[in-house]
Structure 1
Amino acid sequence: MMDRVIICGYFNFPRGGAAANYVQAIAKVFLALDKKVIVISNRNSDVKLEGNEYQGIKVEDVHLREDKFGHYLDFNFLIGKYYKKILTKYSIDSCDFIIAYSRDPFILNSVLKIGKKVGAKTGVCLVEWFEKKDYNRWFSNIGYWKSQIAFYKTNFKFDYIFPISTYIEDYYMNRNCRTFRLPCLVDTEEFEYNEKLIDDKKIFIFPGNGKMKDALEETIQAFSMLNDEEALRLEFHICGVGKFAKQVIEEHNLENSSAGKIIIHDWMPYEELVDLYQKAHFMILARDISRMTLANFPSKIPETLSYGIIPICSRVGDYTKLYLKDGENSLIMDGCDVNTILLAIRRALAMTKQEIIEYSNRCRITAETKFDYRKWVRPLENFFE
């Protein structure tokens, strides 16, 4: 039986984005199983640790060289040696369980070599499945080729695979891999939950981060088509992708439209984002159907559900297939074109205060019963047994 769980990757831990939050929730599942958890990652300097721990998770910082050329070499070609060195320091043995959260074959192979050498079990978290079209200049893109090697070759060497979606799970299950599907999880008790206050304005949010999978350009255009009376009844906050949002508004000459009144946040401390979540009524997530969106599970779904925020989202992936139901805890769109998004916004604006409260409370219940990490402790324990 495992004594320690070591999670390796480069995801700006803690609170540095969706990847860091995903790992944090998984770590809490193992902590609930009375395991000691160590996260080996670059550290988010904006978050203060207690000693070298965050919420009971030991954090081991990965320091790459800081000069531009040295960092490029380390990040793209030499990063595996950093993980090998740290893992060796911890005297890994057969009672340890090493998990990689990475698409980098150098990191993955470091985990595999250490694990194989001492007889420790290994696992890999798979949260993306990209195609050539998802990369600029894919032929010369190092990230593309490393992800292909990882997905189609290296991942099969792990003892366990933790896919984020049924789409990825099916691929590996059909090739006789031992899989346990882990969507994005949350801690619904970490922050206080209050029933939504409904005043004259309804607050819409778009929390973005990382590789853009969402039809944000079409979403901004849809908001620009609202009439003045409609625009006065809402606020639309865009978080994390301010530069892209500003470019869209400028390119489409939307400065004098309703889109010009959008509130754009370039970057927000997590505590400020939580304050916005506690006020917000709707989260809008428009996506096309592709391998990338079918394979992914956006962390913004369970995260915003836990604050009682109603998702307005396109029908794609596990979240609309398994967890959300139109007219109960969400407003589902079929497609992501401008007119479809506009109709969904107007549908939200037409909801009564009582309807918003009822939907919001059902969102919170969905988060508590489907995505709280505590609900996944026993299933994961059963999987290992």
Structure 2
Amino acid sequence: MKERIFICTHSQLPRGDANSNYIFHMALSLVEEGFEVIAIGRSKSSNTSIEKVEGVLCVNIARSKRLPAKIEGHIFFGSQMCRELRNYHIRKDDYLILYGGYVSLFHSIANKMNWLEKGHITACVVEWPTKQQFRWKHIDPNYLLWKYVFNRMIPKWKKVVAISENLCSHFTECDCDTFLLPPMINAQRKISGERKSFEKQVFIYAGADTQKDAIRNMLFAVEKLSDQDRSCFDFHITSLTEEKARKLLGEKQYILDEYEECLHIHGWMEYEDLINLYYVSDYLLLARETNQFTRSNFPSKVPEMMNYGIIPVCSRVGDYTDSYLHHLVDSIIFEGASSDACADAIRTAISIPEEKRICMSQKAIENARDHFDYKQWGKKLSEFILD
């Protein structure tokens, strides 16, 4: 009988957001090592779904939608998860990986699954936000609940899988065993599409995280470019709506109208449409301030897009620029996240000769497949979980 690992999360599986991608590739890495993996997430609809995808059984618990998602999650999600685990006749020799910040999940597992073998529960952490990221700062209920989970519940089981060195260091100081697991990709997935056009350099930003990413400054940078620069520059932003973009720009929202020939706000895109945009993109533009939040995170969009030959143009912050990327070899790394710094980085990118750009694109693919392929991580991860 195969050993079973249950991954418990608040994200929809197998796709939905960056969390979904991280969890699904984690699951694939464990399937590769011969485990039976059941990943239980949270549906965005009122229907429970069950499907087996590439060897991973993905279960999404229905949402009632009678309450806001976060309130329902903090109050009820833990009980729903325990009920689902019982449906699969969870045994004391099974393993659990807890991913997410709902206090009800950690409390319910602690109280209702305390008969599991010692060392069979691992927490997984991918963020370390501060009070500044919350609406009401230090008195925000979501911040207080998250802080309780982060400081009290996650260290309880003494085993933590973390996405960054910064998080690993913190939980090591909390007397936990830690395992560093960056975002992963499927290097075996066939990447093919239309040949990229070299008439304009196509930049992409795929995300809408105004907490981590300096989206305003990336947009302000467009205005700082010369007419000649903009004539060979296209910038596509996905997941961010035009309404939100205008709100972010404030009195400078005229940028969206004045430079509409090179600035394209797509909003949410179907997965296939997004992948088609990847095929014709040259660069990922990603500006981030340096703070606890960004140092502790590792954007999955970096290895994901590198796998498609998209060259990261990004601020120096976190593990990906410290440990994986190489300036002017497979990426362009710049200091800070100001609009001037973004504009300078864009100018550097569009000035790179075609032959050099093709070489950098190939190096980005090689880097992604050498360091982030899920098949390289399964053995080490499973040894940590079983230890």
TM-score, normalization by structure 2 = 0.92
In the alignment, the residues of structure 1 paired with residue 215 and residue 71 of structure 2 have an alpha-carbon distance, to the nearest angstrom, of 33
Asked if 2 retains the 8 angstrom alpha-carbon contact of 1:130 and 1:291, the reply is yes
For 1:63, the equivalent position in structure 2 comes to 62
| Amino acid aligned to 2:251 | E
Greater Cα shift, 107-116 or 305-314: 107-116
Tell me what 1:147 maps to.
146
1:195-210 aligned within 5 A: 197-210=196-209
Q: CA RMSD in A?
A: 2.2
Between the aligned partners of 1:333 and 1:191, the Cα distance in structure 2 is 31
Matches within 5 A, 1:11-26: 11-26=11-26
Q: How does 1:1-385 map to 2 (within 5 A)?
A: 3-43=3-43, 52-68=51-67, 73-119=71-117, 121-193=120-192, 197-210=196-209, 212-242=211-241, 243-249=243-249, 251-252=251-252, 253-258=254-259, 261-383=262-384, 384=386
User: CA offset at residue 279 of structure 1?
Assistant: 1.1
Show CA shifts across 1:110-154 (max 9, x none): 233344213261111100001111111134422111110011110
Q: Specify whether residues 267 and 357 from structure 1 end up closer, same or farther in structure 2 by C-alpha distance, changes over 3 A only.
A: same
Give secondary structure in 1 for the equivalent of 2:180.
Answer: coil
How far the C-alpha of 1:382 sits from its partner, in A, is 4.0
CA contact (8 A) 2:5 2:36 kept: yes
Q: Contact 1:198–1:353 (CA<8 Å) still a contact in 2?
A: no
SS at match of 2:37: strand
* Cα deviation, residue 306, structure 1: 0.6
AA partner of residue 11 (structure 2): F
- CA displacement, residues 43-85 of structure 1 (integer Å, 9 cap, x when unaligned): 367xxx8x6222221122212322246x665223222111111
Task: Report if the CA contact (8 A) 2:206-2:239 is conserved.
Answer: yes
What's the secondary structure of 2:381's corresponding residue? Answer: helix
TM-score under structure 1 normalisation? 0.93
- Contact kept, 8 Å, 1:315 with 1:332, in 2: the verdict is yes
Separation in 2 of the partners of 1:3 and 1:31? Answer: 10
Measure how far apart 1:198 and its partner are: 4.1
Gaps of 5+ in 2: none
Identity %: 28
Sort the Cα spacing of 1:326 and 1:144 in 2 relative to 1 into closer, same or farther, 3 A: same
SS at match of 2:234: strand
Separation (CA, whole Å) in 1 of partners of 2:209 and 2:11: 11
Secondary structure of residue in 2 paired with 1:205 = strand
Unaligned runs of 5+ in 1: none
Q: State how far apart, in whole Å, the 1-side matches of 2:146 and 2:281 are.
A: 36
Residue 374 of structure 2 aligns with an amino acid whose one-letter code is Y
Q: Distance in 1 between matches of 2:376 and 2:240?
A: 32
Measured at CA, do residues 264 and 108 of structure 1 come closer, stay the same or move farther in structure 2, by a change above 3 Å?
same
Cα 1:326/1:296, change in 2 over 3 Å: same
Any runs of at least 4 consecutive aligned residues in structure 1 with deviations exceeding 6 A, and if so which?
Answer: none
Retained in 1: the 8 A contact 2:74–2:103?
Answer: no
Distance 1:238 1:128, change over 3 A: same
CA contact (8 A) 2:94 2:116 kept: no
Q: Check whether the contact 1:18–1:209 (CA below 8 A) recurs between aligned residues.
A: no
Code of the residue aligned with 2:370 in structure 1: it is: T
Which segment is superposed worse, 219-228 or 126-135?
Answer: 219-228
Deviation at 1:245, TM superposition (A): 2.0
Q: Distance in 2 between matches of 1:201 and 1:147?
A: 44
The residue type equivalent to 2:258 in the other structure is: S
| Contact residue 196 and residue 281 of structure 2 kept, 8 A | no
Given that 1:196 and 1:357 are in contact with CA atoms closer than 8 Å, whether structure 2 keeps it comes out as no
Aligned length: 381
**SS of aligned partner of 1:116:** coil
Per mean C-alpha deviation after superposition, the further-off stretch among 19-28 and 33-42 is 33-42
Where 2:179 maps in the other structure, the secondary structure is: coil
In structure 2, C-alpha distance between the alignment counterparts of 1:239 and 1:142, rounded to whole Å: 30
Paired residue secondary structure (1:254)? helix
